[in-house]
A and B are shown apart, each in its own frame.
Chain A
Amino acid sequence: MKSKEMKTHTNIFRKIAMTIFAIIIGIHFSVAQDKSAATEKMGTSIQLAFHKKADHSKWISVKVSAKTKDNKRIPAVNAHMNFYIQNKDGQKIINKCATNNEGKAEITLQKDLPVDTGMFYTIVAKIENDDQFENSDEIIHFRDANISVKFHEADTNRAVTALLTVTGSDGNEKPVKDIPVKFYIQRMFGNMAAAEDNSLNTEATGEATFNYPKEIPGGTTNAITVIARVEDNEQFGTVETSAVVKWGEATPVEQNPFPRALWEPYAPPSLIMVICILFGGVWSIYMYIFYTLYKINKEKKFSA
């Protein structure tokens, strides 16, 4: 009888073990399939842009997007990229980086990069032997331009002149014409377009003159930072400069910028009082109850 029971139990255990084994094998294969699917590399598309700031610092920004199986474009996260400078001697690696969660990255350029005969820089960005993405590359050509601003004031008229030049092969600065320059005024949370139409083309002298608008607040020091910028130009990329001028309208400092109110950082005293009275009242009753409980506990000692 006992051995029969034992046999039945053994059979049940065997069946359970077989089922668990089958499940584990199933999970293993599905995971393995997923892994093989995950190792398929995605095609990418690279976008490059050149930037130069007022302090003459230069960098290249990269945006890489990947194509999924279902033809969706997604940011290529953690794509490892190599950057080369290309000239008549061939290509030479200058920097490396990996993209962030938005598929973006930036590399700073050295000052002494070699140029070709037309005074252009040629940078090649490559994704090479990456685990996730197929090999791909993109080239950017750009010329190093310089931009500067000057301020003019006559009677009540004020003007800002931007001068755009490039360095020639002889080392001299040459003006550049017919390039759109945009003017901005720096504010606390970003740059404000200096007027509705803030874009002017440079003339033959390389200059673009912008009439400075009146009544722009300049804080307590009247200081205004004017920015002149060439944006996303085919030859020069994005080049900008800025200068400070005391043309701002003085704005008085508010004595009490945040009066107590429901919509301000500090609550009105009436609200604080109401809340304190309501909750304070309830909590004082709780305190009284705890005190009474303490007295009930004391009673024990007396009765004992």
Chain B
Amino acid sequence: MENKKFNLAQEIELVKEDCLRPTRKWGRSTQIWLGILCCVAAWGLFAFIHQLRHGLGVTAMRNYVSWGLYISTFVFFIGISHSGTLVSAILRITKQEWRRPITRSAELLTFVSLLFGGIMPIIDLGRPDRVLNLVIFGRVQSPLLWDVISIMTYFTGSTVFLYLPMIPDMALCRDRLIVTKTRFDKFRKRLYTFMAIGWTGTKTQWHKLETVMTIMTIVIIPVAVSVHTVVSYIFAMTLRPGWDSTVFGPYFVAGALYSGSAGVILGMAVFRHLYKLEKYITPRHFDLMGRIVLALTLIYAYLNLNEYWIPAYKMATHEGFLLRDLFFGSYSGVFWTLQFGTVLLPIIIMSIPKGRQILPLSITCVIIVIGAWIKRYIIVVPTLLHPYMPIQEVPADWSSYFPNWVEWSVTMGCLSGIFIVITLFSKFFPMMAVWEVEEGLEIEHDRQVALEMKKKREMEKMSQEVTVN
């Protein structure tokens, strides 16, 4: 027993060290990586300023395609943001022990994708200074206003949901930080002290934290589902071929969960490799997450079938124009590649146990995430190019759309912004919830002790029976 206790304490210490190690040094590779990202972000900012100065006319968007790459990316980012809810909240609520090392990265992915996802419609507005008008003069009946409110609610909730389990870890960082005389260390000390909100780990503090975490875990799930449902309403409540659908709410939620959980697997693979977390994020985690993504892909495939098969069966006039363009026309190549390459192929790969090993699963998830992005584009753009009123008496190039350098630069700037925040976060805060992993170890230890005790008791019982006989 004594030996076991000693091992547990040693193991907990090892967990703390492994989790805090990446926050202690900023290697050259990190600096180069951040430098590249900052260059891309600066270029994106330049393109955005260019757009601000000269108006949305500098983009490829025109009267007919007024939602292009920006809104497609917005829907994609909101979808990715479902990852944190699924992995963290659902697995927490169902008491899945294996979730412990991966919750933080999932919650972080939610936070950053929402942060930048929320920026995309503001960029698309062309006049960001008028964004408040949406709230001040917005119509309560408009899904656009619901979207603004629900994204703000979800963003606040996700931030709280990310922050709550960080409090004990912040106290750990605060207590373990060796303060040198550098300004940077002093800043870190102040940051950790502020974020730890005086955490000393008393019983009452633990009790209160656990209570609010349970509440947040329950609350964040319907909020997350509502957000993507409302995003789908922006499309579904507009009378346009391709969007006029009753299945759009669940279709968007399923699509979001499918791409979001694939995003979590990618995050797991990257952090596991970069921060040497192989001991904690094991092939078993990938196998289990692969099963989840497989289930979600099957649900998504089923809804996809409903979304296209039912209107295709009827081929009503305007829906028919759009569907013919998607199935056999200018978008057919992309459409069928998406259906077979990013839905059917991942189902086949993930159905095989070998396909759920780290490398093949990570490659599959890259395909899923890129596919999900292109799918949002396919939902937004072709519909706008097939309005009920025919496109006429306008310049020829208004009847087609492909994003130009301004849109690509701004979007890439936002994407690099996501990576900057994730990189900085991982350099300031532990990427695994230390106390949660510790708790997992303790539970595992107690289980083993209980198992040993049970074995011992059974042995004693058997020996007693043998003596009686």
Contact = CB atoms under 8 A, between A and B. Distances in A.
Interface of A: 262-263, 265, 267, 271-272, 275, 278-279, 282-283, 285-286, 288-289, 292-293, 295-301, 303
B58 interface: no
Contacts of B139: 265, 267
Nearest to A261: B141
A271 B146 CA distance: 11
B10 interface: no
Given A293-B197, A303-B200, 18 more contacts: A263-B141, A265-B139, A271-B141, A272-B140, A275-B140, A275-B149, A278-B226, A279-B150, A282-B153, A285-B215, A289-B164, A289-B212, A292-B211, A296-B197, A296-B199, A296-B208, A297-B197, A301-B198
Contacts of A288: 212, 215
Contact of A293 (B149, B200, B204, B212): B212
Nearest to B146: A275
With a 10 A CB-CB cut-off, give which of A265, A275, A299 has the most chain B CB atoms: A299
A279 B197 contact: no
Interface of B: 139-141, 146, 149-150, 153, 156-157, 160, 164, 167, 197-200, 202, 204-205, 208-209, 211-212, 215-216, 219, 223, 226
Contact of A289 (B140, B146, B160, B202): B160
A300 B200 contact: yes
8 contacts: A271-B140, A272-B140, A285-B219, A293-B212, A296-B199, A299-B198, A299-B204, A300-B200
A278 to B, nearest CB: 8
A289 B197 CA distance: 14
Nearest to B197: A297
Nearest to A289: B212
Contacts, number: 62
A297 B204 CA distance: 11
Contacts of A286: 156-157, 160
A296 B211 CA distance: 12
A254 B126 CA distance: 38
Contacts of B226: 278
Contacts of B199: 296, 300
A279 to B, nearest CB: 6
Given A271-B141, A275-B146, A300 B198 contact: yes
A283 B153 contact: yes
B202 A299 contact: yes
A292 B198 contact: no
A296 B209 contact: yes
Contacts of B156: 286
With a 10 A CB-CB cut-off, give which of A262, A263, A289, A297 has the most chain B CB atoms: A289
B209 to A, nearest CB: 7
A298 B139 CA distance: 42
B208 A292 contact: yes
Nearest to A286: B156
Nearest to A297: B197
B397 to A, nearest CB: 12
The list of the 5 closest CB pairs from A to B, nearest first, reads: A300-B198, A267-B140, A297-B197, A289-B212, A292-B212
A296 B198 contact: yes
Contacts of A265: 139
Contacts of B197: 293, 296-297, 300
Given A289-B215, A296-B208, A282 B223 contact: yes
B56 to A, nearest CB: 16
Nearest to B202: A303
Contacts of A289: 160, 164, 212, 215-216
Contacts of B150: 279
Contacts of B157: 282, 286
Nearest to A275: B140
Given A279-B149, A285-B219, A299 B200 contact: yes
A144 B208 CA distance: 89
Contacts of B208: 292, 295-296, 299
Contact of A262 (B141, B200, B204): B141
A200 B330 CA distance: 52
A279 B147 CA distance: 12
Contacts of A299: 198, 200, 202, 204-205, 208
Given A297-B197, A303-B202, A267 B141 contact: yes
A299 B202 CA distance: 8
A303 B201 CA distance: 10
With a 10 A CB-CB cut-off, give which of A275, A285, A301 has the most chain B CB atoms: A285
A282 B205 contact: no
Contacts of B212: 288-289, 292-293
A283 B219 CA distance: 10
